[in-house]
Amino acid sequence: MVFETQDSHAVRAAQAGNVDAFGELVQRHRTAVYRVALRMLGNPSDAEDAAQEAFVQAWRALPTFRGESSVATWLYRIVVNRCLNVLGAQEPADPVAETLEAPASGPNHIVEVRGELEALKLAVTRLTPEQRAPFVLRELEGLSYEEIGEVLEISLPAVKGRLHRARLEVLDAMRSWR
Amino acid sequence: MSGNEQDERLACGVEIATLVDQVADGTPPADPEHQATCPHCGPALSEIEELWGRVRELAREEVVTPEQLARRIIRRIRQDVTARRLEVPLEAVVPRLLRHALFHSERGTTRIADAVVAEIVSGVVREVPGVHSLGGGLADALQAGIPVGATTEGVEVEVGGERVAVHVRLVVRHGASIARVANAVRASVIRNVAAVTGLEVAEVNITVEDVHVGGG
């Protein structure tokens, strides 16, 4: 990656307390970080919060960044974790709302109203968080299996297994719209 | 819901899942000769191929980052820096006996101050649903005015090598299940500290100091 050398300069400067250098990292990686949050969480305002928090957390954790993974991988890890936190916080909260809303706002309804791409986005957000993260990283961000393992800190077989189930779920959802 | 789909096979015996991975990863077929002529594999593949086109389309969709995002982040960080300069007089004046976690590698040593870990824990715990605030209760009253080492309010961290023990004192929202909140706090601390610092969290001890009744 072209960014990597530039990144390591910026990281060193930022570690020394240079906020502008950190700003460079933000400029370079904000789109990817925001995009992952958007795909994971499904709505722009939550995604923006998550992206912002991820960068603030990254700044605070800079002293601990050891350069063993690339800055991109590290930032992916932080933002995915933020998203998992948010999702973990939502899940037990509204099992009732879920069942009540399902008939009106399920994928089939959305397909008619807003088209298949929107329905696909929704189908992604209906994956379990555990499956969603590898799906987003692989299919939408184009990371390799190895990189995903690094981001999620899970083994290669675990990446494959989760991704595999996620793919089948998404395919099933798309089939059901026909 | 769909636990047994892994076992689904076409009439020719080929697992559907294999075809899905072939299309999604763009890998060559495991058995090209079979696929070239099989009356089952062909249609199945084109169906998957067609459906998967949408996933590729979504991957190509341009996502516009909110205009002010970068500026807002930098502003937050500058505030952070300023706040910290104002708020840490103790270490600034008297060099504190710094406690660090240590990582050794061939090319040098990484130290992580316990204060950094405490900071991370503090941020993470506040976000767990059911947590009203950190600290509180008798312990705070007793400690008021007494400077304590590497703690953030309600959080104490002990580090040793690559392992860390965390003590959290918190106030739970009225109506929340204390057991569930405590488990969520523990899980979140373990996951986030590991993700951000690489340290292993050996234990998370939680003391619920109070229950907050009322709105907010």
If one counts the domains in chain A, the total is 1
HSE-CB at A70 with a 13 A cutoff on CA atoms is: 15
Taking only the tens place, the pLDDT of each residue in B167-200 is 999 999 999 999 999 999 999 999 999 888 888 8
Mean confidence (pLDDT) of chain B: 81
Tell me, what's the pLDDT at B79?
Answer: 81
Tell me, what's the pLDDT at B86?
Answer: 54
Q: Do A169 and B116 touch (CB under 8 A)?
A: no
* Range among B98-102, B161-165, B212-216 rated most confident: B161-165
Of A103-107, B44-48, B90-94, B98-102, the least confident:
B90-94
Tell me, what's the pLDDT at A150?
Answer: 94
**Mode of pairing for the β-strands spanning B163-173 and B200-212:** parallel
Tell me, what's the pLDDT at B67?
Answer: 85
Domain residues for the domain of A166 are 2-177
Contacts of B57 in chain A (CB under 8 A): 117
Tell me, what's the pLDDT at B115?
Answer: 84
Q: How far is B88 from chain A (nearest CA, A)?
A: 15
Q: What average pLDDT does range B72-91 have in this prediction?
A: 70
Q: Do A23 and B57 touch (CB under 8 A)?
A: no
**CATH code (residue A93):** 1.10.1740.10
B146 φ/ψ angles, rounded to the nearest 5 degrees: -95, 115
Cβ-nearest to A64 among B59, B81, B112: B112
Cβ-nearest to B81 among A19, A121, A171: A19
Suggest the residue from A132, A167, A169 to mutate for an interface test with chain B (most B CBs closer than 10 A): A167
pLDDT-derived band at B113, boundaries 50, 70, 90? confident
What is the mean pLDDT for each group of 10 consecutive residues in chain A (178 residues)? 75 88 94 96 94 94 87 95 87 45 56 78 93 97 95 95 95 87
pTM above 0.90, yes or no: no
Q: How many CB pairs under 8 A join A and B?
A: 136
Q: What average pLDDT does range B111-118 have in this prediction?
A: 85
Tell me, what's the pLDDT at B1?
Answer: 44
Tell me, what's the pLDDT at A109?
Answer: 66
Q: Do A60 and B194 touch (CB under 8 A)?
A: no
Taking only the tens place, the pLDDT of each residue in B143-164 is 544 444 445 688 888 887 788 8
